[in-house]
A and B are shown apart, each in its own frame.
Chain A
Amino acid sequence: MTTVEEHRTTVERERHARVADAAYEIRMGVLEQGEAQGEGYVGQALGIADVLAAVYCDKLKYRADDPEWEGRDRFLLSIGHYALASYAALAAAGVIPREELQTYAADGSRLPMSGMKTYTPGMEISGGSLGHGLGQAVGMALGLRVQGRDDQLVYNLLSDGELNEGSTWEAAMSASHWQLGNLIALVDLNGLQADGRTDDVLRLEPQEERWASFGWDVQRVDGNDLEAVLAALDHVTETAAAQGVPKVILCDTRLANGVPVLEAKDKLHFLRVAAEEWPIAKEQLTAGHREAQS
């Protein structure tokens, strides 16, 4: 007979394994899409895979067969170029067929290179012009609350580069002004933007202090440590609407995480990968996942 404590541990272990499997599946989906095009924002997508797995496969309330279900939580991708990560997550969540990932960025595909609401089931906004997501998230969180539906959560995934945009900070200020406890910002801090390291382009630190001074509940985690990500998400969902404080999880991630052959590349903002490297990348990903499981 198992004790309550042992049972809890088993449940946690199973949960962790399930999300780790989803993260693996998302990364594989990212590599498949990258291979289909030969290039892309693969590094960012691999880096954020653990966060997406935790959100889509453990937290988000949705119906895979009815993406427009009114009672769903919202996940807003304002970093449009991370679309391949979102598509892989939507496939892992069963919202789009996994085979469809092969059409990524192809003519006539529902999966354009920059994510758009009008193209893809499960995409909530048309991202890509950076600094737009958090403002829309404020409107959704406020709009849900005014309709008495603030048990529905609004997640916005934004990048560190988007913190350059003034509009992000307008929205950050507004979220705490309106006490939007049903709003969760996930910031991917991978330290790189188009022109170079974020520290060199426009200094962003100290991040915790900046968000805290704007009135947010702040956590900073290793975004590639699944347990840490899950624990942070547990905190925000447990204290969601009632607390009246918007939450941010600052996720330090590593570009191309989980695939050493790609992690070693130096131009990680937009990866170009030789055809013969993709099979190696997939083998490394699978080997790493097996090793972590054992």
Chain B
Amino acid sequence: MTATTTTTTADATTSAAPEAVPVKRSAAMIASIADPGVPTTSAPFGHALAALGERDQRVVGLTADLSKYTDMHVFAAAHPERYFEMGMAEQLMVGAAAGMAAVGLVPFATTYSVFATRRAYDFLCLDAAEPRLNVNIVAALPGLTTGYGPSHQATEDVAILRGMPDLTIFDPADALDVEAIVPAAAALEGPTYTRLLRGQVPRILDRYDYTFEVGKAKVVRPGDDAVIVSSGLMTMRALLAADTLSADHSVELSVVHCATLKPFDEATVVAQLDTDRTAFTAENHTVVGGLFETVAGALVRRGIAKQVNPIGLPDEFLDAGALPTLHDKYGLSTQSVVDRVLGALR
């Protein structure tokens, strides 16, 4: 099922109804994040996990009543004997995943980011992270990737988790990152948290000379005028913005992608920022406690005074609505990034 955003006309069926106006409607909880013209891959996580399960019998999948919405259903169909529907019980799911890891399995457990972080934090922390178990939490709807409002918008998931010792945090940019992260997470001994992009996931990093490496930030695109340090889907937006800036405005924007938010590749990022280029961070997350503050901390620790313009979500509960509208409103859309860069260069 592909969730799409459509424009339609509301039915004016009663006299009390407002005058019919075109409304943007989000057809499903999970709206597409693909920009026009960007190819997509279907359920990259589910297929990557199913493939890993072929090679490694220790791999098991768990979900908390969200298999279809986290692409876990692909693994479930391929390996039903190693798939566990745990019900709408996130604390149990994370604890049970830790128990499975403790007896030699390699669990991947899925739910939405809000539930993995807000609801199951204590279980991830003490059952999985403190004993350094190979528990892999794969969480859909990170940041602002649904129009359902604050109950489902995990705008602060990274802020919640960054302080957890021994947890590796991944923020993939596209389908290729997602596919690379799955075996990498399994190979790591300790726990991981991945901000999952699911459904029809854009594929963009194959246009560049890029390979995913755990713990490494990569300069995906060079550029002399400005530099943007980004993670997650905002790397995709930054790359698309860079194309527009180059073509239409003769501005060359460098994009530094941080697929691993923790441990953070400070050396690479600081080296890229310690230049005279205008600098930005871009994250699908509140500007509190995420990539921007990680970068700021890295700069301050080294005594580098450098202005960095944060592109990210405001420190507030966000609106419900259609996702494209919300990405425009809160500055995550490609055009918003273009405008921010041009505004700062002006």
Chain A: residues with CB nearer than 8 A to chain B? Answer: 70, 74, 116-118, 124-126, 128-129, 131-132, 134-144, 146-147, 149, 166-167, 170-171, 173-174, 177-178
Contacts and interface: CB of A to CB of B under 8 A. Distances in A.
A138 B87 CA distance: 13
B298 interface: no
A140 B103 CA distance: 6
Contacts of A138: 92, 95-96, 99
B308 to A, nearest CB: 37
Contact of A174 (B89, B107, B130): B89
Interface residues of B, dominant DSSP: helix
Given A147-B105, A170-B91, A132 B84 contact: no
Interface stretch (B121-129, B223-231, B236-244): B121-129
Contacts of B39: none
A132 B99 CA distance: 10
Interface in B57-113: 60, 81-82, 84, 86-87, 89, 91-92, 94-105, 107
B216 interface: no
B221 interface: no
Interface residues of A, dominant DSSP: helix
Nearest to B133: A117
Contact of A136 (B81, B122, B127): B127
Contacts of A142: 84, 96, 99-100
Contacts of A126: 126-127, 130-131
Nearest to B60: A146
B126 A135 contact: no
B96 A139 contact: yes
B91 A135 contact: yes
Contact of B95 (A74, A135, A144, A178): A135
B257 interface: no
A132 B127 contact: yes
A66 B94 CA distance: 28
A283 B98 CA distance: 43
Given A125-B127, A126-B131, A174-B87, A144 B102 contact: no
Contacts of B94: 135
B202 to A, nearest CB: 34
12 contacts: A117-B130, A118-B131, A126-B131, A128-B126, A135-B91, A135-B123, A138-B95, A143-B101, A167-B123, A170-B87, A170-B89, A171-B95
A138 B62 CA distance: 13
Nearest to A172: B92
Contacts of A166: 91
B92 A174 contact: yes
A143 B81 CA distance: 11
A144 B104 CA distance: 9
Name, among B91, B101, B107, the residue most crowded by chain A CB atoms within 10 Å (CB to CB): B91
B63 to A, nearest CB: 13
Contacts of A139: 95-103, 107
B84 A125 contact: no
A148 B60 CA distance: 14
B24 to A, nearest CB: 38
Contacts of A137: 99
Contacts of B92: 135, 138, 167, 170-171, 174
Interface string B281-315: 00000000000000000000000000000000000
B129 to A, nearest CB: 9
